[in-house]
Amino acid sequence: MITIELVNKRNMQGHAAYVISSVEDLPEKLFSQEEKAFILEQKAMKQKWVTINRFSHRDYIGFLSGEEEAKALEEYRTSGDELWLLLKKEKERGLSIIDCVGKEKPILALLEGYLLGSYTFGRYKVKEREEIKLPGDLEVVSNSVSEKELNLLKVVVKATMRARDLVNEPVQTLNATAFAEVFMQMATESGMEVEVFGKKKIEALRMGGLLGVNQGSPDDPTFTRLEWKPEKAVNTQPIVLVGKGVVYDTGGMNIKTGTYMEDMKSDMGGAAAMGCAIYAAALAKLPVHVIALLPATDNRVDGNAIVSGDILTMYSGATVEVINTDAEGRLILADALAYAKQYNPEVVIDAATLTGAAHRAIGKYATVGMQAKATNYFQQLSHSGDEVGERIVAFPLWDDYRDLLKSEIADIRNISTAPEGGAITAGKFLEYFTDYPYIHLDIAGPAFVTSRYSYRGVGGTGVGVRMLFHFLRHWK
């Protein structure tokens, strides 16, 4: 990650980005009236950044209104990403960002967009490796930004990038065991407690959903439990995060066709987000007690794989009729959600790349969210999503959908009897395994993008990490 230094007075020589709300904010000794007029002309042409070539270096001038509502903050992040792209295009090395606005949140948002926009997954590049090197160090010249807030920004950006790395890693190097090992390392780094269940322990716990999905895999499943419990936690009951960790999804016997399998290394985006969110909480020493449960396996095809019509006995003791093997994420989540009951949680939040229905409904622009017995927490989480640019669109969990999951031979079936409302019926299936305040986040749309989407880049976006970190930091 780019090295950042916060200073009150500029030390670095060379390229500079002046963040202003008006041309009058620019230092008179450095900018002539002709240059200010040129800057205003470019602004009128909707240019977010105006470049002045000094030959020895470039000055970049960007306008921020200084407003602090959620929409404005997202615009600043986008501006930060555009600044990054300018420097990358010009192959500039090193930059001073000079705060002439004097407001902390706008500057932090711009920095966030710049840093997140700089992400690249280049470990498998060989010939082009030199081309993807990052521009050099970043100096932030500001009297409004505090060291504390800048450090928290560094933490959440680092965690988001770790989540992106996990989502972008191919299954040949990131099976369920390797996935668990990554979080063992993160626990060592951050001071979290970690416990990883192997196949024998999972069998002893009778987690039939996780074991069933794993039947067609050459690799064993894992179930990772992470816990961050500071001495003076503000909550007496833990917040439990649950993430879907399907490290690759072929669809099983109901195999995916055409291009539907291309991005399925990303099907563990929910587990990556939840694991990296608690990692960020631990790195930042947030005073909240948090537990993360991350069931992981791939969903593949072989002679032992589950088929339509099979009955699985879950960790909860309930039986599930498997109608479609490509509705596998909810099976492993159901075991984790039932397992979460033992912690007497304040609220349980799951995240999963769960349904194509959610993706089709919302696209990459938001997360589909549902809640049961958790209205206030859902409102707080939605507010956090707005604040960080990871919006939630609320879908209902009406009981009308319950009948669509009735089975003639088991307690519940794993998909609906009707084609419509697929995102909601998936949520209703998961709700069946809960008896506590519960929030379900379907991140199928925003978790992985195939073309650059502002500071989210291409590939894994790490969606959910920043939202959950904000939620945990402002826990009420």
Q: Which residue has the tokens 């200073």?
A: 7
The pLDDT of residue 135? 62
Structure tokens at 5: 């230094």
Q: What is the pLDDT of residue 265?
A: 98
Query: What is the pLDDT at residue 418?
Result: 95
**CB-hemisphere CA count at 13 Å for 470?**
19
Nearest Cα residue to 144 out of 30, 74, 68, 86: 68
**For residue 189, what pLDDT is reported?**
98
Separation CA 414–CA 318 (nearest Å)? 12
Indicate whether this model's pTM tops 0.85.
Answer: yes
Q: Residue 416: pLDDT above 90? A: yes
Residue 433 in tokens: 């395994």
* Residues 147-166: tens digit of each pLDDT: 999 999 999 999 999 999 99
Q: What is the pLDDT of residue 132?
A: 52
Residue 55: partners with Cβ closer than 8 Å, 6 or more residues away: none
pLDDT band at 131 (very low <50, low <70, confident <90, very high): low
Terminal Cα-to-Cα distance of the chain (whole angstroms): 32
Rounded distance, CA 381 to CA 476, Å?
11
**330 is known as an active-site residue:** yes
Any idea what DSSP says for residue 344?
-
Greatest distance between any 2 Cα atoms in the chain: 81
- Where is average pLDDT lowest: 26-30, 366-370, 405-409? 26-30
Scanning the structure block, which residue is given the tokens 């919302």? 362
pLDDT greater than 60 at residue 91: yes
User: What string of DSSP letters covers 69-106?
Assistant: SHHHHHHHHHHHHHHHHHHHHHT---EEEEE-S--HHH
Which tens digit of pLDDT belongs to each residue from 374-392? 999 999 999 999 999 999 9
Average pLDDT, the chain: 96
Cα separations (Å) of 422 from 223, 297, 345? 27, 23, 27
pLDDT band of residue 134 (cuts 50, 70, 90) is low
| Residues 439, 444, 446, 448, CA torsion sign | positive
Domains, the chain, in order of start with CATH, read: 4-144 (3.40.220.10), 154-473 (3.40.630.10)
- Our answer to whether residue 58 is catalytic in this structure is no
Rounded to 5°, angle at Cα 134 from 133 and 136 = 125
Question: pLDDT tens, 230-266?
Answer: 999 999 999 999 999 999 999 999 999 989 999 999 9
Q: Determine which one of 36, 43, 256, 364 is catalytic.
A: 256
- 474 DSSP 8-state letter: T
Q: Which of 164, 265, 300, 330 is catalytic?
A: 330
Q: Predicted confidence band at 13 (pLDDT cuts at 50, 70, 90)?
A: confident
Cα separation of 268 and 168, whole Å? 10
Would you call 352 helix, strand, or coil by DSSP? strand
Give the pLDDT of residue 137.
86
As a dihedral over the C-alpha atoms of residue 305, residue 306, residue 307, residue 308, rounded to 10 degrees, the angle is -160
Q: Please say if the pLDDT value at position 19 is more than 80.
A: yes
DSSP assignment of 335-385: HHHHHGGGG--SEEEEEE---HHHHHHHGGG-EEEEEES-HHHHHHHHHHH
Cβ-based neighbours of 34, under 8 Å, separated by 6 or more: none
Say if residue 270's pLDDT is above 80. Answer: yes
Nearest C-alpha neighbor of 120 from the set 160, 165, 157 = 165
